[in-house]
Amino acid sequence: MTIQKKIFFLVGGILLLSLSITLLLLYRDDITQEPPAVTTNDRINSEEQQQSETIESINIVGEDNSNLEYSTEDEQLEESEVRENVVEALSMVNLTESYEEPSERSFFEHAILDYILTNVMGDNVAEENDVEDEAEWVAKDLIAWLEVAENRADFSYSESPFLTYVERENLITDDLKTQILLEELRKISETLYIRHLEFKFIKSFIWNDIHVTFSNEHNQSSDEVDEDYLYSLYSQFEEEVMTHLLEKYPELWQD
């Protein structure tokens, strides 16, 4: 997939998300009669319960969206197979240990590692010839997140709060592939371990930090449920990131 197609898909995804939210709100507003079996009190209680269960911020998954579950009986065999795949993927890439903070180059290298590992495991998310193009796009996107967050919300990345956030939120506990990859990276270098954590979870960390800024700028309407409101804020930030990317890298649009 070319970078230009990636941009088209992302723009289309943002527009589709915005349209879906709008249609949902219009559909809800258009309902003028409740089913006979549901009283007003029932509806109020249901809405209060839904609101109480809504999380404070959107849970952004890592760059790899896998969420694997394993039975106790198969876990050891599965872990052994995944570890073999991880070791093989690591033998196929050259990672730089000297990067002391997140950078476009560190994101690029760890994106390549992630794509190669996914392909080794049999889930071909990118053709071999497209891996570097895909990794370049991912790296630029992550840097754009950092830059827009800094410009719009006075965000400043710091490694220690990031590591605390990852641990507190248990972000890697449900993904066996990520767990094992991080274990193997840590055996090689603590720096590589941290750089891969950043590649996987820096978006979640950024959004957790800055979503309050956007909520302060855009009030929630009285008929807007929390989930719709949070997604509208996130969609707005994504649009600003996309605009920033197109302004900074106009050649991506022209390729």
Taking only the tens place, the pLDDT of each residue in 56-91 is 445 565 665 443 344 454 566 689 999 999 999 999
Angle CA 241–242–247, to nearest 5: 100
Looking at residue 128, what DSSP letter applies? G
pLDDT the model gives residue 26? 45
The alpha-helical segments, DSSP class H, found in the chain are: 3-30, 40-52, 72-90, 104-120, 131-153, 159-169, 176-188, 190-217, 226-248, 250-254
Asked whether 210 and 155 are in contact (CB, 8 A), the reply is yes
CA distance 28 to 224: 10
- Provide the pLDDT confidence category of residue 10 given band limits of 50, 70 and 90: low
- 130 Rama class: left (phi>0) / alpha (psi -120 to 50) / beta: alpha
pLDDT in tens, 190-247: 999 999 999 999 999 999 999 999 999 999 998 999 999 999 999 999 999 999 999 9
Selected residue with higher pLDDT from 238 and 12: 238
Mean pLDDT, range 46-62, rounded to an integer:
46
How far is Cα 26 from Cα 147, in angstroms, rounded to an integer?
35
pTM (2 d.p.)? 0.72
Contact in structure between 82 and 68 (CB atoms under 8 Å): no
At 240, list the tokens: 């600003």
